[in-house]
A and B are shown apart, each in its own frame.
Chain A
């Protein structure tokens, strides 16, 4: 069973709650710390494992649409960030997740160059690479109630735009959602086989060609009567 994230671009409102929840959760753990250099200084420089972009999609025949686009690790089946690591710090665990053994990382940054999604960031304080762990210490924690055994970003998302589960299971609610919405993997041409899916924004309602609201009062209504009265008709 592969476990991954599914992100709904239709519901994301760009609030960055996932970014902050992730930072908070990872920061609480010695091995995954996500600090900021000069956090309260003039030029803070931080590491984040979620980056929420906002894009405007412009087409000729419709108004522009604003799409909030959370960018994070897409949990590849064939991750390019693992083979380039010279020390073996970056590795794939038995359940398919890519994790970093911080004690073995020498901070060369090559894995961050190899990832096409820009999902890895170097901890500016400890000098080791960080990536999304899919909150391995939450999702497999038997001490947590079931509804809490999900990544911090999924738990924090106020609009339910982030889903956690196995989209390849066609019978599961998440598998059905991904199939119904046409979920896609970003940049599949790289052969990385991401397990994560983005659900594209749903088409918006559109007015038909030349459509105008039906007049409330037949014959033109109050405005026409006033115009006639004032001699402008």
Chain B
């Protein structure tokens, strides 16, 4: 699938932002700086998502189909979370009382936003690598870890980072196995497989198209073990080390976010749509 910068930024920044807001809402580390960081990250992520739309001014229409569309649910959950948490945030900024109930409610809405974002991808049966429970789990784990940096003790955050690294590594390996085990072929997709091996003789195009750009092509780095390891290192191992060495949490968070950006880039470029079977005939991330 096409790895668009706006969507990578959106999932990364809003994930960390809503994670931070959830932690602040639960009263883990309430200070004006934490609230501002949470709102800043979440807002930046949501604004980035607008750049993905061909008609961003029509984005308000996206609230209409919440009964069926995870994208619509994500929009509702995000707005609800930001509104509900506005009161506890404002109270923290002016040094007022801690609004525990609204904070907890808002934290729940933050987690619902992150799950909805993940479900936009996990609900797509046509992208086998995404159509799995590991996607919402990973998104929640990334948001939760990102939310720890500014709110919890460095030791706890470091532990969360190490656990995240293990999870991300496992998802790479299990995802590869799961897609390979499906054994989807061009013969299956076209329905011509019963009479022999199906080879692409000529493509229906003389240049790139929306379909090839969006669903079929992958970056040269897709499936690269080196990049996968680097994403684990930046998202989990390095921030854990930095925190234990006494680096300021904000600096460790920046390294963590760089790792999540790389891991999201891999998430998009390594996933392949089944329509790719009509073109290149396989769904594996790496080239032979």
Q: Do A and B bind each other?
A: yes
Additional pairs, 9, CB under 8 Å, beyond known A47-B210, A54-B200: A43-B207, A45-B207, A53-B202, A54-B202, A56-B201, A65-B195, A107-B55, A116-B274, A186-B190
Whether the Cβ atoms of B210 and A121 lie closer than 8 Å is: yes
Residue positions of B touching A, CB distance < 8 A? 1, 52-56, 58-59, 61-65, 68-72, 75, 120, 123-127, 186, 188-192, 195-205, 207-211, 214-215, 273-275, 278
Closest partner residue, chain B, to A61 (CB atom): B196
Which residue of chain A has its CB nearest to the CB of B69? A86
- Assembly CA distance A84 to B73 (angstroms): 10
Chain A residue numbers with a CB within 8 Å of B124 are 80, 84, 113-114
Count A/B pairs, Cβ under 8 Å.
Answer: 183
A212 CB, nearest partner CB in chain B, Å: 26
Q: Is A139 an interface residue (CB 8 A)?
A: no
CB-based closest 6 A-B pairs? A107-B54, A118-B275, A127-B54, A59-B196, A83-B68, A106-B58
A164 contacts the other chain (CB 8 A): no
Q: Can you name 10 A-B residue pairings with CB atoms under 8 Å? A: A48-B209, A55-B199, A80-B125, A80-B126, A86-B61, A86-B71, A86-B72, A112-B211, A114-B126, A186-B189
Residues 125 to 176 of chain A near chain B (Cβ within 8 Å)? 127-128
Q: How far is the CA of A191 from the CA of B126 in the complex (A)?
A: 11
A122 touches B207 (CB 8 A): no
Given contacts A58-B199, A59-B196, contact A87 B125 (CB under 8 A): no
Within 8 A of B (CB), among A20-58: 43-48, 51-58
Q: Is the CB of B53 within 8 A of A118?
A: no
* Shortest CB distance B57–A (Å): 8
- Of A69, A89, A106, A186, chain B has the most CB atoms within 10 Å of the CB of A106
Contact status of A57 and B123, CB under 8 A, knowing A48-B209, A122-B54, A187-B189: no
The secondary-structure label for the interface of chain A is loop
CB of A67 within 8 Å of the partner chain: yes
Measured CB to CB, the nearest residue on chain B to A107 is B54
Contacts of A88 in B (CB 8 A): 61, 64-65
A136 to B208, CA, bound (A): 29
Complex contact B200–A55 (CB within 8 A): yes
The answer to whether B61 touches A118, judged by C-beta atoms less than 8 angstroms apart, is no
Q: Is A128 touching B55 in the complex (CB atoms < 8 A)? A: yes
In the complex, the answer to whether B205 meets A51 with C-beta atoms within 8 Å is yes
User: A117 and B275: CB pair below 8 A?
Assistant: yes
How far apart are the CA atoms of A195 and B211 in the complex, in Å? Answer: 22
A60 (CB) vs chain B CBs: closest residue:
B196
Closest residue to B186 on the A side, CB-wise?
A55
